[in-house]
């Protein structure tokens, strides 16, 4: 008899960038995982003791996260008008990967608690030679994340360039803090 199959694809591992800087998020503080997709980072952060709000426009993507301890799910179109907002909630951490909606960038620092950590990673110009996304509307310009967040947040780390894993791509990523220095920077 052939082995049983499932329709659920294997869960992608967390981003090495998120893994590197997740320890800077204040212990036990609430985390917002925006455009959560399959929830790889929501799972990681909930396992580390953070209550996580996982937000995605795709209700199907959130099905596997629903009911998991430490994870609350919200279906919302982040690009709708009026734009989605967490209301009065503030977060010790915000994680965004593989997603870009430029109008959202200006609002993220205001959603952090003092001492909160923003971890953001997505595709950048040059990625079009490797595949999707190719549309410039979904590719960061050089230095765009530092320009967006440096006025309001302290930049902890920033990178822009080609990566080979998990697939060849050009990415830009940043870790930034609201307020004073985080206690300890993790080793690279």
User: 61-82, pLDDT tens digit by residue?
Assistant: 899 998 899 999 999 999 998 8
pLDDT at 131: 87
Instruction: Assess if residue 8 is contained within a domain.
Output: no
Instruction: Assess if residue 181 is contained within a domain.
Output: no
User: 161-173, pLDDT tens digit by residue?
Assistant: 999 988 899 999 9
Instruction: Assess if residue 2 is contained within a domain.
Output: no
Sign (positive or negative) of CA dihedral 55, 43, 9, 98 = positive
pLDDT at 31: 98
Instruction: Assess if residue 157 is contained within a domain.
Output: yes
| Cα distance between residue 164 and residue 86, in whole Å | 35
The number of folded domains in the chain is 1
Instruction: Assess if residue 10 is contained within a domain.
Output: no
Question: What domain range is 102 assigned to?
Answer: 16-176
What six digits make up the tokens of 154?
């302290």
Vertex 73: Cα angle to 57 and 77 (nearest 5) = 20
Q: Is-cis flag, bond preceding 34, omega within 30?
A: no
User: 99-111, pLDDT tens digit by residue?
Assistant: 999 999 999 999 9
Instruction: Assess if residue 72 is contained within a domain.
Output: yes
Concatenated DSSP letters of 89-130 = --EEEEEEES---HHHHTTGGGGEEEEEEEEEEEEBTTGGGT
| Residue in 188, 180, 11, 172 with CA at minimum distance from that of residue 96 | 172
pLDDT at 71: 97
| Cα distance between residue 136 and residue 100, in whole Å | 11
């Amino acid at each position: 008899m052939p082995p049983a199959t499932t329709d659920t694809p294997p869960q992608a591992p967390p981003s090495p960038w998120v893994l590197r800087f997740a320890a800077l998020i204040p212990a036990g503080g609430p985390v917002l995982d925006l455009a959560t997709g399959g929830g790889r980072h929501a799972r990681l952060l909930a396992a580390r003791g953070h209550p996580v709000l996982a937000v995605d426009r795709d209700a199907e993507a959130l099905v596997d996260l629903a009911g998991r301890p430490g994870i609350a799910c919200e279906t919302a179109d982040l690009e709708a008008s009026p734009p989605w907002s967490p209301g009065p909630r503030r977060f010790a951490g915000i994680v965004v990967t593989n997603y870009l909606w430029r109008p959202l960038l200006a609002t993220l620092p205001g959603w952090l608690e003092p001492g909160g950590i923003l971890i953001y990673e997505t595709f950048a110009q040059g990625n079009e030679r490797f595949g999707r996304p190719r549309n410039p509307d979904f590719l960061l310009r050089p230095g765009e994340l530092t320009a967006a967040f440096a006025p309001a947040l302290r930049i902890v780390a920033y990178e822009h360039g080609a990566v080979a894993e998990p697939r060849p791509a050009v990415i830009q990523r940043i870790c930034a803090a609201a307020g004073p220095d985080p206690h300890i920077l993790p080793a690279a």
